[in-house]
Amino acid sequence: MDLRLSPEHEAFRAEARSFLDDRLGGRFAKVRGRGGPGDEHVLFDERWAWEQELGRHNWIGLGWPTEYGGRGASLFEQVIFYEEYARSGGPGRVGIVNEGLIGPTLVHFGDEAQKRRFLPRILDGTELWCQGYSEPNAGSDLANVSTKAVRDGDEWSIHGQKVWTSLAHWAQWCFVVCRTDPESKRHKGLSYVLAPMDQPGIEIRPIVQITGTSEFNEVFFDGARARIDHTVGGEGNGWKVAMGTLAFERGASTLGQQLGFERELGTITDLARRNGLTSDPVFRQRLAEAWITLRVMRFHALRTLSVLEHGDVSRETSIHKLFWANFHRGLGELAVDVQGANGMIADGPIETPEDERYPLDLMQRLFLYSRADTIYGGSNQIQRNVIGERALGLPPEPKVV
């Protein structure tokens, strides 16, 4: 496999780099490097303005077809953009669910009216979305969803509870996986419904995390309304659409993220230098190991790209998810180990009003937040099950009766 970039790819990289360096060095300097793991609560208004700046310059929806306002960029180009984004210290995206999950889902499964209604506002960053999948009894076992939607004229009336709903407190819309056939069981009889968040039938309760902040929420539906014609993929086809969304979640954006990890490792290595740990044999080993793992991750990402372009992606994306999630959790541990006793003191820099309430530094946030990496988007155990079945040909898991 030829891993060199073509002149066109190099030109695309230069264009992305120039845009990002210009904006993040100027008007948006405040958000540079902020809003990442465990830091997602800060500078919301500024980061929302940044999302819209990306949209104005056509950097959202890179891979979407041009007829829907995307750039029609190849997977390689998308990964190049995500790499440049991470390298330049691009802030955590308030539109991460928009671009990574619901956008590609609508492009793939939405009808024409849904595309025309929703895609432009994802592309210009004016509407934000959240993902209504997990419930108290349906996480890894998503087919156990019990939130119900009952037909009432040309609307659904939704009753039930979702949990761990990231960014629900900011979102204008939620894609809700719910049971529209009351007699159905498991993955049959589910629908993928688009519900507006600002309405009387929805209550959002924040969940406080170990970082002290609340990235995610419980969301209660008590007769919330959604239009029937906002059912993606048609009534009863929710499972297929929901699985499609998950495949996008494990797709291109995660392949470019190792440059963000490299920045984090750079910060940790600088701190190790200052703390005199670069002559400690154990820390030297751990730093070098992390650097090597990042190299392997990059080559694996490139290899995955070629598979993504040609066929069954599920096992490759599961391998990638498992690999980066474990690496990143370990990097968080290395970060606080390098801080030594200081890592135990909440005395981080105060750069924003939110920092006053949660004075953790970025290393501490990385440590705390990265515990979640091996859970969301499919836990480690679930990824291994997928790999067991799709790569090793193991029999499917026995069903619990």
Ligand X SMILES: Cc1cc2nc3c(=O)[nH]c(=O)nc-3n(C[C@H](O)[C@H](O)[C@H](O)COP(=O)(O)OP(=O)(O)OC[C@H]3O[C@@H](n4cnc5c(N)ncnc54)[C@H](O)[C@@H]3O)c2cc1C
Asked if 220 is part of the footprint of ligand X (rule: CB under 6 A), the reply reads no
Nearer to ligand X among residue 211 and residue 258 (C-beta): 211
Q: What phi and psi, each to the nearest 5 degrees, are found at residue 395?
A: -65, 155
Give the interface segment with ligand X, choosing from 76-84, 133-141, 283-291, 345-353 (CB under 6 A).
133-141
Q: How far apart are CA 239 and CA 178, in angstroms?
A: 10
CA distance 347 to 370: 20
Among 164, 175, 192, 239, binds ligand X (CB under 6 A): 164
- CB neighbour list of residue 269: distance below 8 Å, 6 or more residues apart: 278, 287
Question: How far is the C-alpha of 68 from the C-alpha of 62, rounded, in Å?
Answer: 11
376 Cα distance to chain centroid: 9
Examine residue 385 and tell whether it contacts ligand X (CB under 6 A). yes
306: contact with ligand X by CB under 6 A:
no
Closest CA to 235 of 196, 187, 190: 190
Q: What is the C-alpha to C-alpha distance for residues 196 and 385, in angstroms, rounded to an integer?
A: 35
Q: Is 376 in the site for ligand X (CB under 6 A)?
A: yes
Least Å from the CB of residue 132 to ligand X? 6
Which residue of 359, 375, 389, 391 would you call a contact of ligand X, by CB under 6 A? Answer: 375
> Residue 195 in 3-state DSSP?
strand
Question: What is the smallest separation between the CB atom of 26 and ligand X, expressed in angstroms?
Answer: 32
Nearest-approach distance from CB 241 to ligand X, in angstroms = 14
Tell me the site size for ligand X, rule CB under 6 A: 20
Binding region for ligand X (CB under 6 A) out of 120-128, 200-208, 284-292, 377-385: 377-385
Kindly state whether residue 144 participates in binding ligand X, applying the rule CB under 6 A.
no
Distance CA 379, CA 370 (A): 13
The answer to whether residue 372 forms part of the interface with ligand X (CB under 6 A) is yes
| Residue placing its CB nearer to ligand X in the complex, 23 or 169 | 169
SS3 of 376, please? coil
51 is catalytic: no
Least distance (Å) between residue 248 CB and ligand X: 14
Residues in the chain: 401
Q: Please, which residue, 189 or 377, has the CB nearer to ligand X?
A: 377
Contact between 133 and ligand X (CB under 6 A)?
Answer: yes
Nearer to ligand X, 10 or 141 (CB): 141
User: At residue 129, what are phi and psi to the nearest 5 degrees?
Assistant: -120, 155
Distance CA 260, CA 86 (A): 4
Q: Which residue is nearest to ligand X (CB)?
A: 139
Q: Which is nearer to ligand X, 353 or 398 (CB)?
A: 398
Pick the piece of the chain touching ligand X (CB under 6 A) from 26-34, 160-168, 331-339, 344-352: 160-168
Catalytic residue chosen out of the listed positions 135, 249, 264, 316: 249
CB burial readout 276-311, b (16+ within 10 A) else e: ebeeeeebeebbeebeebbeebbebbeebbeebeee
**How far is it, in rounded angstroms, from Cα 21 to Cα 76?**
21
Buried b (16+ CB within 10 A) or exposed e, 192-228: bbbbbbeeeebebeeeebebebebbbbbbbeebbbeb
When asked if residue 192 is in the footprint of ligand X (CB under 6 A), the reply is: no
Question: Contacting ligand X (CB under 6 A), which of 140, 146, 172, 199?
Answer: 140
82 forms part of the interface with ligand X (CB under 6 A)? no
- The CB-of-176 to ligand X minimum distance in angstroms stands at 9
Residue closer to ligand X by CB (options 80, 368) is 368
User: Rounded to the nearest whole angstrom, what is the least distance from the CB of residue 147 to ligand X in the complex?
Assistant: 11
Binding site residues, ligand X, CB under 6 A: 130-134, 139-141, 164-166, 216, 372, 375-376, 379, 381-382, 385, 397
Tell me the catalytic residues: 249
